[in-house]
Amino acid sequence: MDSVEEKLKASIAYNFCKHNCVSLTDTMQYTNKSNFMNPANKESGTPTYCHYSEAYPFVNYQNQKIYQDFDKFCLFKPFFLSNLVDRNDHIDISFYLDNDYVAPSGVAVYRNSDGTYNRDIAVPFWVAIETLTFGEILRLLHYLQDDVLKDVLNDFNLPLSKRAPFLNMIDILLCLRNNCAHTTLLNRFRTEKRYRINALLIASLSLTPKNADSVLKLFDSIKILSFFTDVSALKKPLRTLKFKIYVSMGIKKGKTVYNKILARMGCGDYKKWNIDLFETKYFL
């Protein structure tokens, strides 16, 4: 999971800067909301116009706050740069002080402890993005302009036309990551009911949501993870669990119990775990 997050952060920072931060003066343009797309903005010709707005996916479900709270995103908050520097010990303010830099209008400016502003401080996006949570990265992906997102998707071998299922896959990975972070039992993992699943994603990866378009178990969620990274490391714990159950209960009873555990995780057939998760390459 960490490798996916790191690849996302690196891709976003690189591709955004390629389009918007090409000079020293532009260093902080990642805090200028005019360089992003507001999902709720239906006004064609305005800087943050979103041509997906009229039919934004899952706007009444997991994307509701993403759709409604564009202006509240962390990068756009008035004191983002001040908080970035002051709350992260590894960011040394003296290293990012440059007399040749003068903050342009629309970007975050560093505020000193005495309340005055220092417009000579600029922290590049590749540094700042490392402090964002996975949830904030998901929101950031929604807000990227098409030219930037197209390049990000290309890093994952996807065209821009796959924007919706790609963002939906990140939804599921966020649920999975949060589950792991809160040390909840993985064998009981379920995506929240408010999370809807994209129809193309269901068809392409042969997902089996509990309801028609919601609630995935661990098996399907790992399928999605396998699209981004190698999940073969999971083979060993699955085999170990099987071995321990068989030893403690005997083969006949152990097989029944083991299959029930696998079924609770989304698929009761051990062979399908090996084939679908460790041998199959998925495409959108």
161, pLDDT greater than 90? yes
Q: Count CB atoms within 10 A of the CB of residue 181.
A: 10
Phi–psi pair at 116, nearest 5 degrees: -80, 160
CA–CA separation, 37 vs 20, rounded Å? 14
pLDDT tens for each residue of 32-76: 999 999 999 999 999 999 999 999 999 999 999 999 999 999 999
Kindly list the distances between the CA atom of residue 159 and the CA atoms of 144, 149, 238, in Å, as whole numbers in the listed order.
15, 9, 34
Q: What's the CA gap between 92 and 192, in Å, rounded?
A: 40
Q: Percentage helix, strand, coil, to 5, in the chain?
A: 60, 5, 40
pTM of the model: 0.95
At position 17, the amino acid (one-letter code) is: C
The answer on pLDDT for 191 being more than 80 is yes
pLDDT tens-digit profile of 194-239?
Answer: 999 999 999 999 999 999 999 999 999 999 999 999 999 999 999 9
| pLDDT tens-place string over residues 234-257 | 999 999 999 999 999 999 999 999
Query: What pLDDT is recorded for position 185?
Result: 77
Mean pLDDT of 155-182: 94
The pLDDT of residue 183 is 62
